[in-house]
Structure 1
Amino acid sequence: MTGRGRPPLRIGQHGKISRTYLGSGIWMARCRYRDADGVTRIVERRGHPDEFDKHGKLAEDALIEALAKRQTPGAPGQISLDTKVSVLVEAHLEMLAEAGKSPSTMTTYRSAARKLAKFSDALRVGDATPGRLAAVIRSMRAAHGANMARHGRTLLRGALQIAVLDDVLGRNPVAEVGRIHSDRKPQGAPALDAEQLRDLLAALRESQACWDADLVDPITMLAATGLRRSELLALRWEDYDEAARTIAVSGKIARLPGEGLKRLDSGKTESSQRVVALPGFAVSMLAERRGRAFWGEQTMLFPSSAGGWRDLDNFDKQWRRVRDDLGVPEVTSHSFRKSVATLIDDAGLSARIGADQLGHAKVSMTQDRYMQRGKVHTEVADVLDRAISDE
């Protein structure tokens, strides 16, 4: 006799609601829900931070309210030419969130959606001609710049594709709206050569202001690895293998709406999860740091002065305050990433090695298919040691 298994939900019915405490007074409620198209999906909502909400009732109330309003994008008859485009934008955002888009990406898209709504709130699907949509994008660009306009175009395209899939529109009108190009070429962060990097690290160690702000060690680690700043500030002592002289990059720091600063156990891309070999000067720095009071006693390598996760923006502000005195007024945290990439290239190492070191998703289709990925490249550590020691 076979087991009966879980009984199927009826359309419009939800399963058992579970509540999970996320910390800082925030709960999450989630359940299975069978949409009008017959597909059962996981739906979740978070409650507002409230120290008096001991059991997650606010999160469950928010979830029940969302289920009462829920409509499945693409379900026959639910979308018409009179449907507001802003409704489809919200539906598209929900689909992106359920598909697992990162919280930081969703924060960016939701910010763009709020700005887009100012120019498209009255627009309905039947009004969404290429000319009208182009006017919306032009207005958004004039008010918020080319980058935000690009996000707006992406959201409109995804939203109106829902109407296409529901057979309300025969084609996606956004496809005929030209792509947005920036008026000026981005300058980007400058890269440092080996001599400049040596001089900067020497000046860093001589700066009392840098020691006071705990910038010496994290900047040294950036120069030694080329990590993204969000990856750098997510490093924990448990990620460091002293014997192997490696550090595991296994997460990132992000500020999430309603939750504050969090460590996410996922990187920018799948390739962000990697193990990086450390040059000798980084190993020496970590050995010295581990023996220091407070800094070597925390869970994370580079905590805030209060012992929690370090804020990305605060870290950048602290760096901007000292870089003029260090003689590098244009150097940003991203400059160290570009510097490591430049040193790898100058040493004649392959682009695949560079991509593995920096956690890039692709070098080219050929390399992705035919070259092994995810290796620990000790030769990169050797290159950085030679660059810094000037041997």
Structure 2
Amino acid sequence: MERRGPQGDQHGKLAEDALIESLKTRAAPGLSGEISLDTRVSDLVDRHIESLAGDGKAPATLTTYRSAARKLRKFSEALRVGEATPGRMNAVLRSMREAHGANMARHGRTLLRGALQIAVLDDVLGANPVAQVSRIESERKPKGARALESTELRDLIGKLRVSEACRAADLVDAVTILAATGMRRSELLALRWVDFDEDAGTLNITGKVARIEGQGLKRLDTTKTDSSERVVPLPGFAVTALSERRGMAFVGQRPMIFPSTAGTWRDPDNFNKQWRNVREGLGVPDVTSHSFRKTVATLIDDAGLSARIGADQLGHAKVSMTQDRYMRRGKTHAEVAALLGRAISDE
């Protein structure tokens, strides 16, 4: 390519500047030849999601990402890889947060970072612009579900057993098992009779129920993490509840322990709505299905059992998750004062 210098440019400085400017605007071809500075960022996002699917990412996660990608596209449809500066990425995510909230914007940031990393690895970009965009934090930390005291839990189970509303919604046994195990809602609704060992008094947790885009409600033979697949011991009252349930005419004949009224897998979101409809009548308007999970973790901690035992029971991959997110903090520890008294004053 021949590029003539401007008249009067004795030393070629103007020509050099013009060439540099021209190179800046040329779309650099990637190693694969498929990606350039003109490639739409939204196309790379789609490619990134398909790559995640090929790598075996959980279907429920892919559904969430595809939903986030559709929302993200509204703010980045015309944006090309060569225009993806940190400032522009920050503006896109700020707009997404204002329209759809912090959680969805966090998904958007994850997708943009993964998508533009493809361009980095293809030598189209020298660095990932999203890496320089601050993480998206909620304006205030959610309070989350609260743990119940043991007396509250005992009282609630008693009310549950005599509640006509809970019986009509088939919540009695389901909530009893949540309280007895601390398992996730999606795991509870994926339980099958084959997973219940009455003689051993255990439940084998091997899957979860999730709504998959384009497929509807499915039981997935995988749980949230590798540690989520586990055998959970049951207290006596839970074994009794399941044994009696298996003898019931309808549910005892279905493969799943907690079927929908149609005999299919039960929707975790519908289960949540049913619980919200009855909990105020039980005197626990602030207790969510997740409260039982926190309650089990707290009872384990209060009993002096290790955080590792709690992690095994709840199916956490990291013990720190059990300690930081599920075990109650802010308690008054009189034993610490006694310890210091003995150490310092020989009390």
Fold shared, TM-score > 0.5 on shorter chain: yes
Q: How does 1:87-126 map to 2 (within 5 A)?
A: 87-126=43-82
Alignment partner, residue 261 of structure 2 = 305
Alignment partner, residue 85 of structure 1 = 41
Alignment partner, residue 307 of structure 2 = 351
Measured after TM superposition, the shift of residue 163 of structure 1 is 0.4
1:152 aligns with 2:111: no
Secondary structure in 1 matching 2:319: coil
Secondary structure in 2 matching 1:210: helix
1:246 aligns with 2:219: no
1:255 aligns with 2:192: no
Alignment partner, residue 221 of structure 1 = 177
Match of 1:207 among 163, 170, 176: 163
Secondary structure in 1 matching 2:297: helix
Secondary structure in 2 matching 1:131: helix
Higher mean alpha-carbon deviation, 273-282 vs 299-308, is at: 299-308
Instruction: Give the residue type in structure 2 aligned to 1:263.
Output: R
Q: How does 1:17-32 map to 2 (within 5 A)?
A: none
| Larger-Rg structure | 2
Secondary structure in 2 matching 1:248: strand
Measured after TM superposition, the shift of residue 328 of structure 1 is 0.5
Measured after TM superposition, the shift of residue 239 of structure 1 is 0.4
Instruction: Give the residue type in structure 1 aligned to 2:227.
Output: S
Instruction: Give the residue type in structure 2 aligned to 1:98.
Output: G
What is the TM-score of this pair, normalised by structure 1? 0.74
- CA offsets per residue over residues 97-136 of structure 1, 9 Å max, x none? 0111101100110111000000001000110000111000
Alignment partner, residue 252 of structure 2 = 296
Alignment: residue pair count: 293
1:189 aligns with 2:189: no
Secondary structure in 2 matching 1:306: coil
Measured after TM superposition, the shift of residue 364 of structure 1 is 4.8
Larger proportion of helix:
2
Q: How does 1:271-282 map to 2 (within 5 A)?
A: 271-282=227-238
Instruction: Give the residue type in structure 2 aligned to 1:90.
Output: D
Is the 2:31–2:123 contact (alpha carbons within 8 Å) kept by the matching residues of 1? no
Secondary structure in 2 matching 1:100: coil
Measured after TM superposition, the shift of residue 75 of structure 1 is 5.4
Distance 2:36 2:214 in 1: 34
- CA offsets per residue over residues 301-342 of structure 1, 9 Å max, x none? 111111111111111111111101000001111110000000
- Aligned-CA RMSD value: 1.3
Measured after TM superposition, the shift of residue 237 of structure 1 is 0.5
Larger proportion of strand:
1
Secondary structure in 2 matching 1:253: strand
What is the TM-score of this pair, normalised by structure 2? 0.83
Structure 1 residue ranges without an equivalent (≥5): 1-73, 368-391
Alignment partner, residue 130 of structure 2 = 174
Query: Which consecutive aligned stretches of 4+ in structure 1 deviate over 4 angstroms post-superposition?
Result: none
Instruction: Give the residue type in structure 2 aligned to 1:86.
Output: S
Distance 1:118 1:249 in 2: 40
Secondary structure in 2 matching 1:360: coil
Distance 1:144 1:318 in 2: 26
Distance 1:269 1:183 in 2: 29
1:265 aligns with 2:265: no
Secondary structure in 1 matching 2:131: helix
Instruction: Give the residue type in structure 2 aligned to 1:253.
Output: V
Instruction: Give the residue type in structure 1 aligned to 2:190.
Output: A
